[in-house]
Amino acid sequence: MRKIDLPMSRETIESLKAYDRILLSGEILVGRDQVHARLAALINEGKPLPISLEGEVIYYMAPAATPPSFVIGSCGPTTSARMDPFTPTLMGAGLVASIGKGPRSQAVVEAVKANKGLYLVAFGGCGALYATKVLSKEVIAFEDLGPEAVMRLKVEEFPVIVGIDSRGASVF
Protein backbone atom coordinates (compact mmCIF):
# COMPACT_ATOMS: atom_id res chain seq x y z
CA MET A 1 0.00 0.00 0.00
CA ARG A 2 1.46 3.30 -1.13
CA LYS A 3 2.00 6.10 1.40
CA ILE A 4 1.27 9.62 0.21
CA ASP A 5 1.92 12.95 1.92
CA LEU A 6 -0.44 15.90 1.57
CA PRO A 7 -0.53 18.26 -0.20
CA MET A 8 0.02 16.11 -3.29
CA SER A 9 2.20 17.28 -6.16
CA ARG A 10 0.91 17.21 -9.78
CA GLU A 11 3.22 14.25 -10.44
CA THR A 12 1.88 12.29 -7.48
CA ILE A 13 -1.72 12.88 -8.56
CA GLU A 14 -1.02 11.83 -12.13
CA SER A 15 0.86 8.73 -11.00
CA LEU A 16 -2.20 7.37 -9.19
CA LYS A 17 -4.55 4.99 -10.98
CA ALA A 18 -8.07 3.76 -10.24
CA TYR A 19 -8.09 0.89 -7.67
CA ASP A 20 -4.73 1.98 -6.18
CA ARG A 21 -4.78 1.56 -2.42
CA ILE A 22 -3.12 4.46 -0.62
CA LEU A 23 -2.49 5.84 2.87
CA LEU A 24 -2.77 9.62 3.19
CA SER A 25 -0.83 11.68 5.74
CA GLY A 26 -1.17 15.43 6.17
CA GLU A 27 -4.01 17.94 6.27
CA ILE A 28 -7.47 17.61 4.76
CA LEU A 29 -10.63 19.73 4.83
CA VAL A 30 -13.93 18.33 6.03
CA GLY A 31 -17.30 19.35 4.63
CA ARG A 32 -20.51 17.80 3.38
CA ASP A 33 -24.01 18.70 2.16
CA GLN A 34 -24.73 22.14 3.62
CA VAL A 35 -21.09 23.24 3.29
CA HIS A 36 -21.14 22.33 -0.39
CA ALA A 37 -24.39 24.19 -1.01
CA ARG A 38 -23.00 27.29 0.70
CA LEU A 39 -19.57 27.21 -0.97
CA ALA A 40 -21.05 26.61 -4.43
CA ALA A 41 -23.50 29.50 -3.92
CA LEU A 42 -20.66 31.85 -2.92
CA ILE A 43 -18.56 30.77 -5.91
CA ASN A 44 -21.50 31.23 -8.31
CA GLU A 45 -22.17 34.71 -6.90
CA GLY A 46 -18.48 35.56 -7.25
CA LYS A 47 -18.16 36.21 -3.52
CA PRO A 48 -15.08 35.43 -1.41
CA LEU A 49 -14.97 32.05 0.36
CA PRO A 50 -14.31 31.74 4.12
CA ILE A 51 -11.63 29.15 3.27
CA SER A 52 -9.34 28.67 0.29
CA LEU A 53 -9.91 25.52 -1.77
CA GLU A 54 -6.65 25.87 -3.70
CA GLY A 55 -4.83 22.52 -3.76
CA GLU A 56 -7.10 21.13 -1.04
CA VAL A 57 -8.55 17.68 -0.47
CA ILE A 58 -12.06 17.60 1.02
CA TYR A 59 -13.46 14.73 3.08
CA TYR A 60 -17.25 14.21 3.09
CA MET A 61 -17.83 13.55 6.75
CA ALA A 62 -19.52 14.72 9.94
CA PRO A 63 -18.12 13.11 13.08
CA ALA A 64 -19.96 11.64 16.05
CA ALA A 65 -19.31 13.07 19.54
CA THR A 66 -15.70 12.99 20.77
CA PRO A 67 -14.95 10.67 23.70
CA PRO A 68 -12.63 12.20 26.36
CA SER A 69 -9.42 10.35 25.40
CA PHE A 70 -9.91 10.87 21.64
CA VAL A 71 -9.10 13.64 19.16
CA ILE A 72 -12.32 12.96 17.27
CA GLY A 73 -15.30 10.60 17.52
CA SER A 74 -16.40 8.02 14.98
CA CYS A 75 -15.64 9.63 11.59
CA GLY A 76 -16.25 7.54 8.46
CA PRO A 77 -17.19 8.91 5.03
CA THR A 78 -20.69 9.85 3.89
CA THR A 79 -22.29 9.15 0.49
CA SER A 80 -20.47 11.17 -2.19
CA ALA A 81 -23.31 11.22 -4.72
CA ARG A 82 -25.10 13.93 -2.74
CA MET A 83 -22.17 16.25 -3.39
CA ASP A 84 -22.19 15.55 -7.14
CA PRO A 85 -24.10 18.72 -8.14
CA PHE A 86 -21.48 20.90 -6.38
CA THR A 87 -18.18 19.09 -7.00
CA PRO A 88 -17.46 20.48 -10.50
CA THR A 89 -17.92 24.04 -9.14
CA LEU A 90 -15.62 23.39 -6.18
CA MET A 91 -12.98 21.78 -8.42
CA GLY A 92 -13.19 24.85 -10.65
CA ALA A 93 -12.27 26.88 -7.54
CA GLY A 94 -9.09 24.91 -6.91
CA LEU A 95 -10.16 21.73 -5.07
CA VAL A 96 -7.96 18.84 -6.25
CA ALA A 97 -9.55 15.83 -4.64
CA SER A 98 -12.53 14.62 -2.66
CA ILE A 99 -12.89 11.67 -0.30
CA GLY A 100 -16.21 9.91 0.22
CA LYS A 101 -17.98 6.65 -0.41
CA GLY A 102 -19.87 5.23 -3.34
CA PRO A 103 -20.19 6.13 -7.03
CA ARG A 104 -20.14 9.62 -8.63
CA SER A 105 -22.02 11.16 -11.52
CA GLN A 106 -20.60 11.40 -15.04
CA ALA A 107 -20.26 15.17 -14.52
CA VAL A 108 -17.93 14.53 -11.59
CA VAL A 109 -15.87 12.03 -13.58
CA GLU A 110 -15.43 14.71 -16.25
CA ALA A 111 -14.60 17.42 -13.72
CA VAL A 112 -11.95 15.16 -12.13
CA LYS A 113 -10.45 14.52 -15.57
CA ALA A 114 -10.60 18.17 -16.70
CA ASN A 115 -8.97 19.41 -13.49
CA LYS A 116 -6.52 16.50 -13.35
CA GLY A 117 -7.76 15.73 -9.85
CA LEU A 118 -8.85 12.62 -7.96
CA TYR A 119 -11.83 11.05 -6.28
CA LEU A 120 -10.80 8.85 -3.39
CA VAL A 121 -13.04 6.21 -1.83
CA ALA A 122 -12.92 5.77 1.92
CA PHE A 123 -14.28 2.66 3.66
CA GLY A 124 -17.96 3.23 4.33
CA GLY A 125 -19.14 2.82 7.89
CA CYS A 126 -15.64 2.42 9.28
CA GLY A 127 -15.92 5.37 11.68
CA ALA A 128 -14.18 3.73 14.62
CA LEU A 129 -11.20 2.87 12.41
CA TYR A 130 -10.88 6.36 10.91
CA ALA A 131 -11.06 7.91 14.40
CA THR A 132 -7.68 6.28 15.10
CA LYS A 133 -6.14 7.95 12.00
CA VAL A 134 -6.83 11.56 13.01
CA LEU A 135 -4.13 13.49 14.89
CA SER A 136 -5.92 16.82 15.29
CA LYS A 137 -9.09 18.64 14.32
CA GLU A 138 -10.10 22.26 14.17
CA VAL A 139 -13.39 23.89 13.14
CA ILE A 140 -12.54 26.61 10.62
CA ALA A 141 -15.83 27.79 9.07
CA PHE A 142 -19.63 27.58 9.23
CA GLU A 143 -19.62 26.72 12.94
CA ASP A 144 -23.39 27.11 13.01
CA LEU A 145 -23.70 23.79 11.17
CA GLY A 146 -22.80 21.81 14.28
CA PRO A 147 -21.36 18.42 13.33
CA GLU A 148 -21.51 19.50 9.65
CA ALA A 149 -19.17 22.50 10.09
CA VAL A 150 -16.00 22.88 8.00
CA MET A 151 -13.00 21.38 9.80
CA ARG A 152 -9.35 20.91 9.12
CA LEU A 153 -7.98 17.52 10.11
CA LYS A 154 -4.44 16.31 10.40
CA VAL A 155 -4.46 12.63 9.46
CA GLU A 156 -1.90 9.86 9.46
CA GLU A 157 -1.99 6.81 7.19
CA PHE A 158 -5.61 7.40 6.34
CA PRO A 159 -6.63 4.47 4.09
CA VAL A 160 -8.45 5.13 0.79
CA ILE A 161 -8.78 3.59 -2.66
CA VAL A 162 -8.52 5.69 -5.84
CA GLY A 163 -12.06 5.78 -7.23
CA ILE A 164 -11.57 8.13 -10.18
CA ASP A 165 -8.07 8.94 -11.39
CA SER A 166 -6.77 12.05 -13.18
CA ARG A 167 -7.36 10.43 -16.59
CA GLY A 168 -11.02 9.90 -15.74
CA ALA A 169 -10.79 6.13 -15.18
CA SER A 170 -13.39 5.07 -12.61
CA VAL A 171 -13.84 1.96 -10.50
CA PHE A 172 -17.63 2.24 -10.65
Partner 1 sequence: MRRRVAQIGALVAVTAIVILSIVPSRSISSLVARLPFGDKGAHFIAYGVASWLLVFSFGLNYSTLIFIATSLLGLLIEVIQPHFGRSFDIWDLVVNCTGALFGVLLGVVYLKNEEKKMGKSKQRGLVDKIRQTLLEAAIHLEDGLMERLEWMRFELSQKLPSLAPQQVASYQASIEVLEMIQANLKLSEENKIPMCQDTGMIVAFVEVGSDVPLSMQAIEEAIYEGSELAIKEGFFRNSVVEEPVFERINTRTNLPPIIYWSTSKERHLKISLLLKGFGSENCSGLAMLNPTSGPQGVVKAVAEMVQRAGGKPCPPIVVGVGLGGTAERAGYLSKKALLRPVNSVHPDGRFAQLEREILDAIQALEIGPGGFGGHLTALGVAVEYEPTHIAGLPVAASISCWADRKGEFIWEGPYA
Is residue 128 close enough to count as binding partner 1 by CB under 8 A? Answer: yes
Minimum distance between the CB of residue 40 and partner 1, rounded to whole angstroms? Answer: 17
Per CB under 8 A, which of residues 57..86 are in contact with partner 1?
Answer: 61-67, 70, 73-76, 78-79, 81-82
Question: What is the enclosing helix (H) or strand (E) of 10?
Answer: helix 10-15
Minimum CB distance to partner 1, residue 41 (Å)? 15
Q: What is the distance between the alpha carbons of residues 10 and 166, in angstroms, rounded to a whole number?
A: 10
Total residues at interface with partner 1 (CB under 8 A): 41
Distance of alpha carbon 5 from alpha carbon 12, whole angstroms: 9
Q: Which residue of 42, 43, 51, 126 would you call a contact of partner 1, by CB under 8 A?
A: 126
77 contacts 60 by C-beta, under 8 angstroms: yes
Rounded Cα distance between 36 and 7, Å, is: 21
Query: Binding to partner 1 by residue 169, rule CB under 8 A?
Result: no
Contact 112, 72 (CB under 8 A): no
CB 73 to partner 1: min, Å: 5
Candidates 17-25, 49-57, 89-97, 109-117 — which segment interacts with partner 1 by CB under 8 A?
17-25
| Other Cβ atoms within 10 Å of 161 Cβ, number | 15
Decide if residue 92 touches partner 1 (CB under 8 A).
no
Tell whether residue 159 is a contact of partner 1 (CB under 8 A): yes
Site map (CB under 8 A) of partner 1, residues 131-150, x = contact: xx------------xxxx--
Give the pairing of strands 150-164 and 134-141: antiparallel
Judged by DSSP in three states, 158 sits in: strand
3-state secondary structure (DSSP) of residue 76: coil
Residue 21 as a binder of partner 1 (CB under 8 A): the answer is yes
Rounded Cα distance between 17 and 171, Å, is: 10
Residues of this chain that bind partner 1 (CB under 8 A): 18-19, 21, 34, 61-67, 70, 73-76, 78-79, 81-82, 101-103, 121, 123-129, 131-132, 145-148, 159, 161, 171-172
